[in-house]
Structure 1
């Protein structure tokens, strides 16, 4: 019951901290970080409770061991006194009775300490059970903390991705508003006209060059005709 009570208070504290963080959160990442801190602090509180419980258990165990040790010591004393009484019985009954009384006192002490050991038994058993429950609870809390940290990292990463996608969408909407394709088309048309003008100049230059070569060929042919004609004339003479 003690373990359940302690863990119950810690669980209520955790839920209260988480609910408060969720209600007041503006930045999810800050909220998740705060949740991790709160849960870590709760684990620390639980660990302190476990440490206190373990300390109490060890005290009970120490007291029980001390009582058992004292019971054994008084048993030895009772046995020694009884043996001494047996030795003195024949010589001095009075002294023998004295040692028997000491033996009785020692046995009484032994019984008292044995009863203490018996009374410690149930308390140690209960405290041991509580301690084990608390240890298991803390182990589960540590596991949950790792799960919470992993979930925090995952959600933060997803948040960053969503934020990046939002920026991309905003950029796309801005592009749609500006519609740069019309400007590109205008530049493309300008370049096409320039390409056509350059091509026209190339064709013009080529046609002029061909005409020059054709003129050279015609001049050469005329020269040959005149030369042959002159040769014919000089041969006929």
Structure 2
């Protein structure tokens, strides 16, 4: 049952959709760390179970090889006994010939028993070999999935750090945004602009006042010129009357 549960977990973990699990996780990094631990532990359990299965397979193979060797050995003994019986019978020693023929029959019986045992074990050997190959493939799949998990974990952490750095930069830029009227820099710029406008207004007012003064001088000049001409007219008129 323990082996079956481990092998079942191998199949389940290989079919696991890591991307879907990451999307569903509240904390993907912690989830990946847990998956890495689960996969590592299950791989260790699977390796132990598969090693035991392979060990049992090797025992079966050894028993099968021994049965084959035993069958061959009894076959050789049967042949030797039969040959000896033929030699004795040719020599006229029928009693001993029969004895060796009986030994040959016993050897052949044991040969058949060993051959039957070897033949009976062959389907089990084939099935066990198939199971072991599948388990090895599943274990390789788990190890590949584990490497994918580790790579995704590294990628996720790198992306998280990059996103965190970008957010910090955005926050820093936002805090010094000169277009933000609520920022200290925005208020300072507004104050400077008001001071500049005040200075420009004062300069414009000063210029207007100076122009007015010059206009007054021009008006005074014109009045003086009029007075001079009037005086000349009066002076000229008097001279005309006198003459």
Q: Is this a same-fold pair by TM over 0.5? A: yes
Pairwise mapping of residues 1-237 of structure 1 onto structure 2 (< 5 A)? Answer: 6-11=6-11, 28-89=28-89, 90-175=91-176, 178-183=183-188
Q: Return the offset for 1:59.
A: 1.3
- How far apart, in 2, do the equivalents of 1:104 and 1:119 lie? 22
Does the CA-based 8 Å contact 2:87-2:97 persist in structure 1? yes
Residue aligning to 1:221: none
Specify whether residues 82 and 15 from structure 1 end up closer, same or farther in structure 2 by C-alpha distance, changes over 3 A only: closer
Does the CA-based 8 Å contact 1:70-1:113 persist in structure 2? yes
Partner SS state of residue 127, structure 2: helix
Gaps of 5+ in 1: 194-237
Does the CA-based 8 Å contact 1:78-1:107 persist in structure 2? yes
Q: Return the offset for 1:6.
A: 4.7
Partner SS state of residue 92, structure 2: coil
Specify whether residues 55 and 65 from structure 1 end up closer, same or farther in structure 2 by C-alpha distance, changes over 3 A only: same
TM-score (normalised: structure 2): 0.64
Does the CA-based 8 Å contact 2:10-2:142 persist in structure 1? no
Gaps of 5+ in 2: 200-243
Does the CA-based 8 Å contact 1:36-1:148 persist in structure 2? yes
Residue aligning to 1:211: none
Does the CA-based 8 Å contact 1:13-1:42 persist in structure 2? no
Partner SS state of residue 34, structure 2: helix
RMSD between aligned residues: 3.4
Q: Return the offset for 1:172.
A: 4.1
Q: Return the offset for 1:7.
A: 2.7
Q: Return the offset for 1:29.
A: 2.9
- How far apart, in 1, do the equivalents of 2:32 and 2:15 lie? 14
- How far apart, in 2, do the equivalents of 1:109 and 1:188 lie? 115
Residue aligning to 1:229: none
